[in-house]
Amino acid sequence: MPTALLLENLHPHARTILETAGFDVVTRTGALDEAELVEALAGVQVLGIRSKTNVPADVLAAAPDLEVVGAFCIGTNQIDLHAAASSGIAVFNAPFSNTRSVVEIAIADIISLTRRLTVFDKEMHAGVWNKSATGAHEVRGRTLGIIGYGNIGTQLSVLAENLGMSVVFYDTSEKLALGNARRMNTLDELLETADVVTLHVDGRAGNAGMFGAKQIARMRPGSIFLNLSRGFVVDYAALRDAVLSGHVAGAAVDVFPVEPKRKGDPFESELRGLPNVILTPHTGGSTEEAQEAIGQFVAHKVRDYLMTGSTNLSVNLPNLALDQRPDAHRVAYLHRNVPGVLATINATLAEHGVNIEGQLLATRGELGYVVTDVSSRVPTDVVDVLAGRPESLRLRLLD
């Protein structure tokens, strides 16, 4: 019976799916630091996390039983994907399940900041009646600039146009514009055009610090800024200066370079206390609907990998979509992508009288993944030969 360790308050559906599949599931409410995680992973085959738990190479090296990591979120930059692959550990995430939730909070932030609702709300709670239209605008007719035109950016583009906004976008990759959105040739061109600038970039290392004082200075005076992507991509000290000077009329930030690991831990940021600034605790994708969808999606991927060998949508292994064949025995072999592996597998099986009924191979850079269905149980000698080869990373028998 595989053991699964689920951290960070994952949706109950994740536990139910794995327990129904026969997993022994252990849950813990918060994130763990590296030392705690190493201790907790003893004898564990499945790790489920969100964005607060870091899984670096040394943790993976200290967890020989670990076979799969489920990231119940969009990003995987908290996991050393290369080290996981080299250790034969599959990683799955949920790249689409909370897209709508992030888009909706972006729309809510844009309207709230443009109408200066944060200022009015604070004054009303302080007992101040300040009925004034000064600085409050409709979003209709204003220009939204989207940096990163992926799953979230494109859906936000469509909804913003439905609100009457014009949409421009910038992306380093070629992307098809939806509706009437217009692609900007440079980031500077977008910043000089948009009334609202919103970041939706991924967590690759090259994006660190991409938005600083120089980019903020390029923004139109009195514009609005949103970051719902990654905390390390923005210089928040420069953003603070721009808000205080009035160059930026308002900002909404959901992600931070350093975030508390557990609910109730203290939160520090240079953005605290600023006027017309919305701060949320990395909850852009945290709706009940999104967390339910994420819990189901990732738990199913983890279950299918361990039960069938399917790596479909794995972020670090060659992708094979597989169904369970109840009448066959299956050999799942992850290896370094070098010439002759497939021939070696087939020759070894033939030498031991094992008949092949079906076989699939996928490669991904330096990795190869071969799944072979055979008509009888695989002898121990075959396992020893294949697992002992220099190109071998992990061999699993799925009966």
The set of catalytic residues is: 230, 259, 282
- Taking residue 219's Cβ as centre, other Cβ atoms within 10 Å add up to 24
CA distances from 280 to 105, 106, 286 (A): 10, 12, 11
Q: Are 368 and 335 in contact (CB under 8 A)?
A: yes
Q: At CA 123, angle to CA 198 and CA 140, rounded to 5?
A: 35
SS3 4: strand
Sequence-ordered list of residues with C-beta below 8 angstroms from that of 236, at least 6 positions apart, any chain: 253, 256, 257, 269, 270, 271
Sequence-ordered list of residues with C-beta below 8 angstroms from that of 326, at least 6 positions apart, any chain: none
Angstrom distance (rounded) from CA 165 to CA 157:
9
SS3 132: coil
Sequence-ordered list of residues with C-beta below 8 angstroms from that of 106, at least 6 positions apart, any chain: 152, 156, 198, 226, 228, 252, 284
* Residue 115 C-alpha from the chain's centroid: 31
